[in-house]
Amino acid sequence: MLFLKSEIGQNTAGHDIEPITTIFSSYPAPISGDITRIEWLTQNYDLAVDWFMRALSGMEVMSCDVFDTVMLRHNESEAERNFHICEYIVQTLRDTAIGAPLKHVDAEALLLMRASAMNLTYGARPAVQGCREGSIKDVVTNIALTIGGGSELASRMLECELDYEATHCLFSNAPLIEAMCRFKRLGGKVLLVSDMYLHQEHIRVLLSKVAPNSLPHIDNIYSSADTVISKRSGLLFPRLAQMGAFPPCATLHIGDSFSSDIQKAREAGMNALYLPIFRHELRMRQASLARMIQTFDRVGVDIRTWAKV
């Protein structure tokens, strides 16, 4: 279900995956059961742009989540996506001088090292106000050192990850970006706020590849990889408001997570617009995760403790 500014608080039974048929029932383009958001937004481009602009009416600041909002993900699970990233890293680097340590590492082993390094960075980085966040820089550095490489290998691994994400995993949310451009031309301010182990510099790289027309209109990007405090903790929005990044009552935040993007924004005094993942997409991601779990079960490795949808 999608919640416009005035609708927040009237129906909080939905989750990140709640279908949006109810709110869109008054629109001339129904949501079918097997459509993805990128398909719906493409088919209903003008309608979606108008909807975003009406939600932004009277606002001074447009704040957006990044992943599955400004850039929409394909519908593999996070676990399978990271496995394919590992395949790409191995295939791209193992026959190079820098990538020599990867010659005897397969994608499965690299994925397990990545999961271990990710867990380590979340636990090892200093907490800020009780919050912890991972850093992709720590992850690739840890892996490179584990297999006998150095900083240059770590840098190339990170480049490969961003290249694969941009080429195979992310799609521009064209109607939202068009609304962003129009809002900026009208004198508004545009911010991106993400809970993610990628730093703002990496998000900029992905945007430059996936949605280059968005970058000139973005005033600032905040990532929990840099701030450590996060949206999901309820601390990041108030911190940004205290820094003068936005006046809460004149800011609309748009995102796909009901908890992090809607509830926490509303608790901070902001307006919020919910752009959830469709049920069909969630089912695809769940099936993808099940495939990955089954694949590793066959070799006696249980990835259920860290593999995500």
pLDDT, residue 141, reads 98
Q: Are residues 62 and 178 in the same domain?
A: yes
Indicate whether 187 belongs to any domain. Answer: yes
| Host H or E run for residue 174 | helix 174-185
Q: Are residues 10 and 134 in the same domain?
A: no
Question: How many independent structural domains does the chain possess?
Answer: 2
Q: What pLDDT digit, counting tens, does each position of 221-277 carry?
A: 999 999 999 999 999 999 999 999 899 999 999 999 999 999 999 999 999 998 888
- Work out the average pLDDT over 77-99: 98
Indicate whether 99 belongs to any domain. Answer: yes
Q: Are residues 179 and 164 in the same domain?
A: no
Q: End of a domain among 168, 186, 221?
A: 168
Q: Are residues 65 and 192 in the same domain?
A: yes
Q: Are residues 83 and 163 in the same domain?
A: yes
Indicate whether 294 belongs to any domain. Answer: no
Read off the pLDDT band of 6 (50, 70, 90): very low
* Residue 288 amino acid letter: S
Q: Are residues 189 and 271 in the same domain?
A: yes
Tokens 């259920």 locate to: 304
Indicate whether 296 belongs to any domain. Answer: no
Buried b (16+ CB within 10 A) or exposed e, 202-218: bbebbbebbbeebeebb
Number of neighbouring beta carbons within 10 Å of residue 129: 10
Looking up residue 187, the CATH number of its domain turns out to be 3.40.50.1000
Q: Are residues 244 and 121 in the same domain?
A: no
Q: Are residues 162 and 178 in the same domain?
A: no
Range of the domain at 105: 78-168
Q: What pLDDT digit, counting tens, does each position of 173-221 carry?
A: 999 999 999 999 999 999 999 999 999 999 999 999 999 999 999 999 9
Please report how many Cα atoms fall inside a 13 Å half-sphere around the Cα of residue 104, on the Cβ side: 5
Both tokens of residue 53? 């602009």
For the chain, the C-alpha Rg in angstroms (whole number) is 20
Indicate whether 285 belongs to any domain. Answer: no
The answer to whether 177 and 70 are in contact (CB under 8 A) is yes
- Laid out side by side, the sheet with 189-194 consists of 220-223, 189-194, 61-64, 251-255, 271-274
Pick the closest to residue 93 from 11, 187, 156, 168 (CA basis): 156
Q: Are residues 187 and 54 in the same domain?
A: yes
Indicate whether 215 belongs to any domain. Answer: yes
Q: What pLDDT digit, counting tens, does each position of 149-169 carry?
A: 999 999 999 999 999 999 999
pLDDT, residue 276, reads 86
Q: Are residues 182 and 247 in the same domain?
A: yes
Please report how many Cα atoms fall inside a 13 Å half-sphere around the Cα of residue 199, on the Cβ side: 8
**pTM reported for the whole predicted model:** 0.90
Q: What angle do CA 2, 272, 14 make, to 5 degrees?
A: 40
Q: Are residues 210 and 93 in the same domain?
A: no
Q: Are residues 191 and 246 in the same domain?
A: yes
